Amino acid sequence: MIDLYPMICKRKSFHVFSKGENLSETELQMVQNHCAELSTLVKDIQTKFKIVPIAETTCRRGEYCILVYSEHKPNYLQNIGYMLAQLDLWLAFCNIGSCWYGMGKSFETKYGELDFVIMMAIAKQDEQSFRKDVSKTRRKPVEHIWQGLERPKIADVIRYAPSACNSQPWNIISEADTLRIYRLTEKRGILPAGKAAYYHQIDIGIFLLYVELCLQHEVISFIRNLYLQEKTQHGYLSAEYRLLQHTMS
């Protein structure tokens, strides 16, 4: 199994794709096959991933779009974010550029009984096109996303998690052996107010994957509890991680 952690520093959002080789049928099938191997955040939620030319969507970036469909169950949006974030990092490993295209629309709004959720634009890219210096990535400062007496190394890495519409709507409160992840309610960027909560829940799924990759990299075992977006003074409580090894360097 590929270690996705190093890909955090390699991946980037390709808002402009350079023209190069087209993805071959073999490569497209490889991507499709990998979609079936993604780990889920929530069990027993049916999902489907479909690769189509961008002409079959409203997207005008890249060569193809990966369309994601899901049944509606509690935390289904977080589940999609968690799964697609894995694919995003794996694509970077394969030198396939990607861009979360949050506001894009598919002309196929259903896949059987499943509803369209989100898409990702992809295209083959030269390895030199990927990120070289992660510190130049525009993200919220660590102090804006991490609250706690200590600021471990993972705090500097998890902040590089992407978001579907570049909102970064997350906050972590660290207390003793527990990390609590909250979804913020503030509106950022160009998102219409009615769409913010939808995409922000996908973003939380992305963020949870990055939290877990960082904990695993530091060999910190954990027990994860998901919540149904419980509203608190800090935002919507989305997940709690009980750390089985208390020390984070």
By C-alpha distance, which of 129, 132, 202 is closest to 162? 202
Per-residue model confidence (pLDDT) at position 162: 92
Q: Tell me: the pLDDT tens digits for 103-156?
A: 888 999 999 999 999 999 999 999 999 988 877 777 888 888 999 877 788 999
Sketch the domain layout of the chain as residue ranges: 5-129, 138-243
Higher pLDDT, 192 or 178: 178
The kind and range of the H/E element at 223 are strand 222-232
By C-alpha distance, which of 238, 206, 248 is closest to 75? 238
Domain 138-243 grouped into CATH 3.40.109.30: yes
Q: At a CB cut-off of 8 Å and minimum separation 6, what does 219 contact?
A: 245
Per-residue model confidence (pLDDT) at position 200: 94
Helix axes 76-93, 25-35, angle to 10 degrees: 140
Residue with tokens 């490889």: 30
Secondary structure (3-state) at 233: coil
Question: CA quadruple 191, 5, 131, 140: dihedral positive or negative?
Answer: positive
Q: Check for a shared fold between 5-129 and 138-243.
A: yes
Helix %, strand %, coil % of the chain (to 5): 30, 30, 40
Instruction: Classify strands 170-175 and 146-147 as parallel, antiparallel or unpaired.
Output: parallel
Secondary structure (3-state) at 64: strand
Per-residue model confidence (pLDDT) at position 186: 74
Residue with tokens 């073999």: 26
Please give the average per-residue pLDDT across 177-182, as a whole number: 95
- Residue 137 half-sphere exposure, CB side, CA atoms within 13 Å? 26
Return the CATH number of the domain spanning residue range 5-129: 3.40.109.10
Q: Among 85-99, 102-116, 143-157, 225-239, whose mean pLDDT is lowest?
A: 143-157
pTM assigned to the model:
0.94
Residue with tokens 């130049």: 136
Q: Tell me: the pLDDT tens digits for 37-73?
A: 999 999 999 999 999 999 999 999 999 999 999 999 9
Per-residue model confidence (pLDDT) at position 247: 59
Mean pLDDT estimate for the chain: 92
Per-residue model confidence (pLDDT) at position 226: 97
Residue with tokens 């027990």: 223
Per-residue model confidence (pLDDT) at position 248: 62
